[in-house]
């Protein structure tokens, strides 16, 4: 328990230095846990208010709080912000002059600052003073960068494990907006804080309407979209620098106040682009994902993904930049197979290629989903939404559903029988009672549930299982050969008789035929029939039967 005396300081400090009357959601619990010198992992959506969780304790600790943050560009902003609130803080990096660095050393040693921001690469410079005499707390911002399971892996983060060894009694607070389960585990292991208290805020941002559209004519669609919202600020994320510029150009030609932003611009151009957006001089920014980290603009009304993001974490983080004020906002994603292929190419050869590809696959499944998209997003982060959200395109225009409880039970029990060790292909093979070499080798044909789902085709099973994943009833273990495994919600289906709704599987073959029926000229038809006639004759001769028995009328049609 926190001392009464400390406890009574929390709200007044929040008010005095940050100007807020109350804590949001879990902020107070987290602040208390830090002050109790426990290690903590905080997962809170972008804009949720992570900074308070270490900045406020920093004010109450005796020594300095070390803040590790990956973006040198943002450190200055954050430190300026703190200083403006009357909090002493500084940052340290390798581009500073020697005398500046010396001055910072002095400030730490004399405990004249409450927070010191450092990039992980620069930590070694602090070697001589990095000890518990001077430092009271360590905050690791954007902690997902530590994990190669995460979506934004930075090798310089991987060395941070030494901190706990060097300062064993100093609380560590690791913070990030996006980390799936495997990433969370990895963060704790690598930081040597296996027993850290975990604070998982809800990932639900109800005010953001989700929509996915096919990418045909996307520029035209975007122009129409923006014209309907002439005064609303928005961000359009593109994959390449070039496309940010081309798109901004096209929008401007259409009378839309747009600007491009990417890492190829120089510092002054970038700052100007950011400021023009923040101060509402630019309505639309066409940007690469470099844009938005740490930008505190609460009235961004929409985010468009011109290209597919490479994974759900990235998508979620980017859409999280709209509607931070809690008012209605909209996220529109253009789904394109050529983008998927492009992204796949970028990934080839990466050290964690397999993980990246599996995450891209999940992104693709999200885009193609026929179930509530918010359910999918939340289940990705380990949350189960009990009702459909009503604020996504699928909810607003629902496909037909049926009671798929038995299908779900069959799939989940096969996953159980396979000890959660096999990927979707094998699970379906067992459901369908396949007798291929892989199944026989592993003796899966002897399993009781071998063949329990014979009546459903392979392709349909694939779609149903993806729907089950999307609804959170099972999940893909990306770092374990993409094995399917159960989630905490599986037992609701297996043992508690929960009803599972599924969408009728679409017949992909039929769809393709419908879409791509080629135009056949009469002449071509005639030759086809001529070939059929000959073939029929030939078979009739070989089989010594009358020709009319060879093909039924139905086949001929």
Instruction: Establish if 333 lies at the interface with Zn ion (CB under 5 A).
Output: no
Binding mask 362-381 for Zn ion (x = CB under 5 A): ----------x-x-------
**Residue 55 in tokens:** 């900045």
- Facing residues of 271 across strands? none
Instruction: Establish if 395 lies at the interface with Zn ion (CB under 5 A).
Output: yes
Angle formed by the axes of helices 241-253 and 218-227, nearest 10°: 50
Instruction: Establish if 34 lies at the interface with Zn ion (CB under 5 A).
Output: no
Rg (CA), the chain: 28
Residue 108: count other Cβ atoms within 10 Å of its Cβ. Answer: 21
Nearer to Zn ion, 261 or 316 (CB): 316
CA-to-CA distance for 14 and 5, rounded, in angstroms?
15
Residue with tokens 């399971």: 149
Residue of 20, 105, 125, 551 that binds ligand ADP (CB under 6 A): 20
# of chain residues touching ligand ADP (CB under 6 A): 13
Question: In Å, how far are 26, 391, 507 from 457, measured between CA atoms?
Answer: 46, 32, 10
Query: What 3-state DSSP class applies to 393?
Result: helix
Q: Which partner from the list ligand ADP, Zn ion, Mg ion, none does 171 bind, CB cut-off 5 to 8 Å by kind?
A: none
User: Is the Cβ–Cβ distance between 74 and 293 less than 8 Å?
Assistant: yes
**Residue 365 in tokens:** 């499944």
Residue of 33, 34, 40, 48 that binds ligand ADP (CB under 6 A): 48
CA-to-CA distance for 403 and 254, rounded, in angstroms?
48
CA-to-CA distance for 512 and 164, rounded, in angstroms?
57
Q: Which partner from the list Zn ion, ligand ADP, Mg ion, none does 432 bind, CB cut-off 5 to 8 Å by kind?
A: none
Instruction: Establish if 46 lies at the interface with ligand ADP (CB under 6 A).
Output: yes
User: Is the Cβ–Cβ distance between 395 and 372 less than 8 Å?
Assistant: yes
**425 phi and psi angles, rounded to 5 deg:** -60, -50
User: Is the Cβ–Cβ distance between 231 and 349 less than 8 Å?
Assistant: no
Cβ at position 20, least distance to ligand ADP in Å: 4
Nearer to Zn ion, 243 or 388 (CB): 388
Q: Which partner from the list Mg ion, ligand ADP, Zn ion, none does 372 bind, CB cut-off 5 to 8 Å by kind?
A: Zn ion
Instruction: Establish if 40 lies at the interface with ligand ADP (CB under 6 A).
Output: no
**Residue 291 in tokens:** 């844009």
Instruction: Establish if 389 lies at the interface with Zn ion (CB under 5 A).
Output: yes
Cβ at position 391, least distance to Zn ion in Å: 6
Cβ at position 200, least distance to ligand ADP in Å: 13
Question: In Å, how far are 211, 464, 470, 511 from 503, measured between CA atoms?
Answer: 18, 8, 12, 16
Helical (H) or strand (E) element with 279: none
Q: Which partner from the list ligand ADP, Mg ion, Zn ion, none does 389 bind, CB cut-off 5 to 8 Å by kind?
A: Zn ion
Cβ at position 294, least distance to ligand ADP in Å: 7
Residue of 34, 177, 179, 392 that binds Zn ion (CB under 5 A): 392
Could you give the strand order of the β-sheet that contains 258-261, starting from the edge strand earlier in sequence? 208-214, 329-335, 300-305, 233-237, 284-287, 258-261
Residue 255: count other Cβ atoms within 10 Å of its Cβ. Answer: 11
CA-to-CA distance for 364 and 358, rounded, in angstroms?
10
User: Is the Cβ–Cβ distance between 72 and 142 less than 8 Å?
Assistant: no
Instruction: Establish if 54 lies at the interface with ligand ADP (CB under 6 A).
Output: no
Residue with tokens 């885009």: 367
Cβ at position 29, least distance to ligand ADP in Å: 13
Cβ at position 15, least distance to ligand ADP in Å: 10
Stretch that binds ligand ADP, among 48-56, 271-279, 376-384, 471-479 (CB under 6 A): 48-56
Binding mask 50-89 for Mg ion (x = CB under 5 A): x---------------------------------------
Cβ at position 42, least distance to ligand ADP in Å: 9
Q: Which partner from the list ligand ADP, Zn ion, Mg ion, none does 392 bind, CB cut-off 5 to 8 Å by kind?
A: Zn ion
Cβ at position 393, least distance to Zn ion in Å: 8
Nearer to ligand ADP, 309 or 320 (CB): 320
Q: Which partner from the list Mg ion, Zn ion, ligand ADP, none does 24 bind, CB cut-off 5 to 8 Å by kind?
A: ligand ADP
Binding mask 289-308 for ligand ADP (x = CB under 6 A): -------x------------
Stretch that binds Mg ion, among 49-57, 123-131, 164-172, 498-506 (CB under 5 A): 49-57
Cβ at position 78, least distance to Mg ion in Å: 8
Q: HSE on the CB side for 203, CA within 13 Å?
A: 24
Q: Within 353-412, which residues bind Mg ion (CB under 5 A)?
A: none
Going by C-alpha positions, the residue among 355, 352, 351, 364 that lies closest to residue 312 is 364
Q: Give burial (CB, 10 Å; 0-12/13-18/19+) of 497.
A: exposed
Cβ at position 269, least distance to Zn ion in Å: 39
Instruction: Establish if 368 lies at the interface with ligand ADP (CB under 6 A).
Output: no
Nearer to Zn ion, 293 or 401 (CB): 401
What ranges in 94-205 are assigned the alpha helix state H?
98-109, 162-166, 181-190
- Facing residues of 401 across strands? 503
Q: Which partner from the list ligand ADP, Mg ion, Zn ion, none does 374 bind, CB cut-off 5 to 8 Å by kind?
A: Zn ion
Q: Which partner from the list Zn ion, ligand ADP, Mg ion, none does 487 bind, CB cut-off 5 to 8 Å by kind?
A: none
**Residue 346 in tokens:** 């970028």
Instruction: Establish if 146 lies at the interface with Zn ion (CB under 5 A).
Output: no
CA-to-CA distance for 185 and 489, rounded, in angstroms?
19
Cβ at position 195, least distance to Mg ion in Å: 24
Query: What 3-state DSSP class applies to 336?
Result: coil
Residues in the chain: 557
Residues in contact with ligand ADP by CB under 6 A are: 20, 23-24, 27, 44, 46-52, 296
Residues in contact with Mg ion by CB under 5 A are: 50
Residues in contact with Zn ion by CB under 5 A are: 372, 374, 388-389, 392, 395
């Amino acid at each position: 328990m926190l001392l009464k005396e400390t406890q009574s300081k929390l709200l007044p400090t929040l008010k005095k230095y940050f100007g807020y009357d109350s804590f949001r959601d879990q902020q107070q619990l987290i602040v208390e846990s830090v002050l109790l010198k426990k290690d903590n992992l905080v997962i809170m959506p972008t804009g949720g208010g992570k900074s308070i969780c270490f900045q406020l304790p920093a004010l109450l600790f005796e020594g300095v709080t070390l803040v590790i943050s990956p973006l040198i560009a943002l450190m200055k902003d954050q430190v300026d912000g703190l200083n403006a609130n009357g909090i002493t803080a500084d940052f340290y990096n390798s581009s500073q002059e020697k005398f500046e660095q010396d001055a910072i050393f002095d400030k730490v040693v004399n405990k004249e600052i409450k927070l010191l921001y450092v990039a992980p690469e620069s930590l070694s410079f602090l070697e001589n003073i990095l000890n518990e005499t001077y430092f009271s707390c360590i905050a690791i911002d954007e902690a997902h960068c530590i994990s190669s399971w995460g979506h934004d892996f930075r090798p310089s983060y991987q060395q941070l494990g030494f901190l706990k060894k060097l300062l064993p009694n100093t609380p560590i607070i690791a913070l990030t907006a996006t980390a799936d389960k495997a990433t969370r585990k990895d963060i704790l292991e690598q930081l040597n804080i296996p027993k850290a208290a975990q604070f998982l805020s809800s990932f639900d941002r109800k005010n953001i309407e989700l929509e996915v559209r096919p990418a045909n004519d996307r520029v035209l669609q975007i122009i129409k979209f923006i014209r309907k919202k002439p005064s609303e600020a928005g961000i359009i994320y593109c994959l390449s620098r070039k496309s940010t510029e081309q798109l901004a150009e096209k929008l401007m030609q259409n009378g839309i106040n747009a600007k491009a932003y990417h890492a190829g611009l120089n510092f002054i151009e970038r700052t100007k682009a950011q400021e023009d957006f923040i101060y509402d001089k630019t309505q639309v920014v066409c940007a690469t994902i470099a844009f938005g980290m740490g930008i505190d603009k609460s009235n961004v009304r929409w985010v468009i993904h011109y290209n597919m993001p490479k994974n759900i974490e990235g998508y979620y983080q980017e859409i999280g930049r709209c509607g931070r004020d809690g008012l209605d906002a909209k996220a529109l994603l253009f789904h394109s197979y050529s983008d998927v292929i492009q992204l796949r190419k970028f990934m080839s050869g990466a050290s964690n290629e397999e993980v990246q590809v599996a995450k891209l696959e999940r992104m693709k499944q999200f885009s193609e989903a026929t179930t509530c998209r918010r359910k999918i997003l939340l289940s990705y982060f380990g949350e189960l939404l009990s009702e459909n959200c009503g604020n996504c395109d699928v909810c607003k225009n629902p496909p037909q559903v049926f009671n798929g409880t038995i299908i779900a039970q069959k799939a989940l029990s096969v996953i159980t029988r396979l000890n959660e060790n096999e990927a979707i292909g094998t699970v379906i093979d067992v459901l369908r009672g396949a007798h291929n070499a892989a199944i026989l080798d592993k003796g899966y044909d002897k399993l009781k549930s071998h063949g329990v789902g014979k009546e459903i085709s392979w392709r349909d099973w694939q779609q149903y299982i993806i729907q089950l994943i999307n609804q959170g009833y099972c999940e893909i273990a990306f770092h374990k050969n993409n094995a399917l495994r159960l989630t905490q919600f599986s037992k609701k289906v297996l043992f508690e008789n929960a009803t599972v709704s599924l969408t009728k599987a679409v017949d992909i073959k039929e769809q393709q035929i419908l879409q791509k029926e080629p135009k056949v000229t009469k002449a071509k038809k005639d030759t086809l029939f001529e070939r059929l006639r000959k073939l029929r004759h030939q078979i009739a001769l070989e089989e010594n039967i009358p020709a009319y028995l060879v093909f039924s009328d139905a086949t001929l049609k």
